[in-house]
Structure formats: C-alpha cells, structure tokens
Amino acid sequence: MMMSLNNLRNAVLAFVLLPLLGVLVALGMLALREFEQQMELRMQEDIELVARSIQLPISTAMVRRDALDVQQALDSAFQLEQVFGVYVYDARGDLVATSGPRSPSLDRRHEARLITATGSQGAFDDRHGREVFSFFLPLSDAGGRIIGLLQITRDVTRFKAYLAQMRWQGGVAIGLLSLVFLLVVLIGHHRAVGRHVTRLAGAMHRVGQGERGLRAPEQGPQELRHLATAMNAMIARREDSDRALETQRAQQAELEEKLRQSEKLAAIGQLAAGVAHELGTPLGVIAGRAQRARRRVAEDARAAAEMDSLLTELGRVEHIVRQLLNFARRNPLNRRAVAIGALVADVVSRVRMSSRRPQIPVIIEAVGTAEAAAQQTLSVDPLRLEQALGNLVENAIHAAREQVWVRYGPIGPEADPKLEIAVIDDGPGVAAADADRLFEPFFTTKPGGEGTGLGLAVAQAAIADHGGDLRLDRDGTPGSRFTITLPVLPQEVTGG
C-alpha cells in the first residue's frame, strides 16, 4: 500500500527524511570505500617499506654471489608479522632463495623476466583459498644493471575479513542512524506540529458538527497560531452572522404574527362595526318604548319589576354595542391637557358607583411627591384614556378579594420621562395559560354572560394610540397588576 502524501507527516518523511537518508547512505558508502582504499594503500606501503629495507643487502649479496647472506636477509624479513613469504629470483627468473611458502605468483620464468623489466609492482593472488598480496622489486648492481627480482608477499585474508566486518558495521551504523533520524523526525513532528494540527482538526470537526462557542487552541508554532487565530475570527464572524440571521428570523416571525393579528383585528373590527350599526337602531327603539311603558306602570304593580329588569338588560346590551363601536372605530385622538390626579379620581368614582361590588375599596396612591404627582398634567384624549382606565378598574374590582389599588406617578430619567398608572388587585391572579391571550378580542376569563372579552382589547388600543404601553406584570406576587405607561411630552410640566 502506497504512502499517502496528503498527510503532513508522510510528506515530511518523503521529501525531507528520505533524501537526507539517501545522502547519508551515499556518504557512508563513500567513506567506507575511501577507508578501504586507504587501508590497502597503507598495507602496500608497509610491504614496500620492508622490501626496500632489504633491497640493498640482497642486491649486494647477489653481486658477491653470497647465497648465505641472501638467505639471512630473507629470513630477517620473514620474521616480521606483516610478511607471509620472501622470494629472490635472478635475472633469468630462476628462484635463488626463499623464506616461507613457495610463491604462487612466479611459477614460470618469463613472468619474472617481465616484472624485472617493468619495475616494481604489486598484485593480489590466491594461495590455497587464502588471498595474498605480492610486491615485486627489481634488484640491481652499483651500475644500475638489473640482476634479479625480490618478491615479498603478505596474507591479506584477515585484512579482507576486517574490511568486510567494517562494511557490515558501517551498514548497521547507517541503519541505526537512519532509525534514529526517523524517530527524531516523527517525535519532533508530533511535538512541534502534529499534536497542534490534530487539535485544530478536532476543533474544526466539532464546529462543523454545530457546537457553538468553541474556539481553536492558539498553540504551537507561530504559523499554526496565526492559522488558529484566523480560524477563530472566522468562527466568530460565522456565529455573529448566525445570531443576526436568527434575530432577523425572529423579527420576521414577529412581524408576520403582528400582520396576521392586524388582519384579524381588522376583520373583527369590520364585523363588530356592522353588528353594532345594525343593532343600534332597533335597540334604541326597544329601549325608548320600554321606558315609556315603564312610566305607565304603577310602582307597586307586578309588571314594574319585570320592566326594570328588562331596562337593565337593555342597558347591558347597549354597553356591549358601545364597546363594539369603540373597538371598531380608531378615531383620531382629541388631545387636551388633563390633570392626571383628577382624571384617576373621577374614573374610580364612576366605576365604583356602577359596580356590582361597591363594598370593594379602591385606594388611590400617588407615587413620589403626592402633590406634584396629583397635579401632573398630560396631553391626552380624556374620553379614550378614561375608557381604558375604567375597564382596568372594573376588571380589578370584579377579581379582587378585599381591595384594589390605583397607583400613578412619573418614572424614568429626565431625558425620557414617562407616566405610569398601575391597577392592582388581591385576587387569584391570571392563569399562566390565559396570560398570552388576555388582550385578544372576545377572549374573557369571566363566566358566560358576564363579559364580552372586549374591555382589555379596547383599553390596549386606546393606550397604543397615545404612544404608550399596556401590559400585565407577572412579578410573582398574588393578584394581578396591569400597568399603563404613557410618554410625557417636553412641554408637559408638573404644576397647578
């Protein structure tokens, strides 16, 4: 299976380590070759030195034809460890003297004459499975005439074995050195690059799986730290884009919901306006005739009570019709300056007078400086604001167990002042399942026949037309708290 070069580690091994090992092996082989050549040269120089050291005594003895001196010179050279055999030939190539085994190199006479004519030389030869090196040196007299040939041989078997051992040891050393280089490169790659790249790859894989808030570790060499920094910046930009996209989607969904609600309210408003218009005239006729009939009936007559009950129910129907008309009509505001304290007191008084639970007290509280809060003036449409506040107070009296509070006063910083009116009761509160639908038209938590479900929708529309906000505060306290927040215009000042 071929090694994949897509891996950084494998690429380092292929393009860095393998060429380096190739150079190392080539240099090692050249070094071993040079060592062998130098060893052979040294061996040859040693034999030549021995030969030249006995050349003169042997030449002199041969001139005198003294065979004893020749033999003694040969025997002295044979005593040296490097010498395997020493041989002397005359000018005709005949062996004159020998010390050691018989020479394998000059069995024929013409070879001795040829070497004598050409001068000194060395040659390798084989003797019964043992390799020897022979050095040949011509012998001459005082006049320079060649009179013989000196041959000194040396057994190079151990020398060759030593060189073979050196080759084997050199190969093992190169192999071990290559293994060390491989381990150094692998460990160095892991410590300097590999582990950091693995962390980066792991982080990017987890980011790709959708894990949020993850950042790549900015560790390792400078290049990898720069890469991690760039990756983190890219991840941050992506998360910002995702958040912006989610925000846009949420805003789009909210706008779509508002559009559907607006279309729904518009349709309901058209229906309510049509129904109220069609019912208004007949109800007016019925109410007028019922009132005239009631005046003709004596107070103690049995029909008087029935007529009073009929007029009461007609009043309720007229109230429902007015609510339908108020919900359907979004007339322009008729603003004028109104003292908030007086408006709140008047609304509370009228609602209590018409309420079915007059025994429930309604406590009016001015937040902050009571006198200043009571004299706070606001440019509003008094009829629309009274209608909205009246619906809230009426609902609070209906839900309260013992008491209702109406608190009002300025809030917010001086740069953006607002007026807040809170209507609070100590009743059971609004169920969590009903809280999101309280301001929907025709949704009511009252028993059947006691509410139309338009009061809060009309109140919210009136406050929204004033640029304010009506909300249900769910702060965990018992009861319900509805809060009206209205903006205070710069020209609206506190004063009498």
Domain shared by 225 and 256, yes or no: yes
Whether 28 is covered by a domain: the verdict is yes
Domain shared by 278 and 367, yes or no: no
Angle at 412 between CA 410 and CA 413, to 5 degrees: 115
Domain stops at, among 280, 312, 329: 329
SS3 465: helix
Domain shared by 308 and 361, yes or no: no
Domain tally, the chain: 3
CATH number at residue 76: 3.30.450.20
Domain shared by 225 and 345, yes or no: no
pTM recorded for the entire structure: 0.44
pLDDT value for 423: 92
Q: What is the DSSP string of 30-79?
A: HHHHHHHHHHHHHHHHHHHHHHHHHHHHHHHHHHTT-HHHHHHHHHHHHT
pLDDT value for 322: 65
Domain shared by 313 and 337, yes or no: no
Domain shared by 314 and 369, yes or no: no
Domain boundaries, position 95: 8-170
Inter-residue contact 338 to 378 (CB < 8 Å): yes
Domain shared by 59 and 99, yes or no: yes
Whether 206 is covered by a domain: the verdict is no
- Surface-to-core class of residue 323, CB atoms within 10 Å of its CB (0-12 exposed, 13-18 middle, 19+ buried): buried
pLDDT value for 404: 92
Tokens of 412: 């917010």
pLDDT value for 375: 62
Tokens of 163: 């060189």
Domain stops at, among 312, 329, 346: 329
Whether 181 is covered by a domain: the verdict is no
Domain shared by 319 and 273, yes or no: yes
Provide the total of helices (H) and of strands (E) in the chain, helices listed first.
13, 12
pLDDT value for 142: 80
Domain shared by 417 and 304, yes or no: no
Domain shared by 115 and 242, yes or no: no
Can you list the residues of the chain whose pLDDT is less than 70? 1-9, 77-82, 101-130, 261-281, 316, 318-331, 368-375, 433, 441-453, 475-476, 489-496
Tokens of 411: 């809030």
C-alpha 432/C-alpha 1 separation (Å) is 68
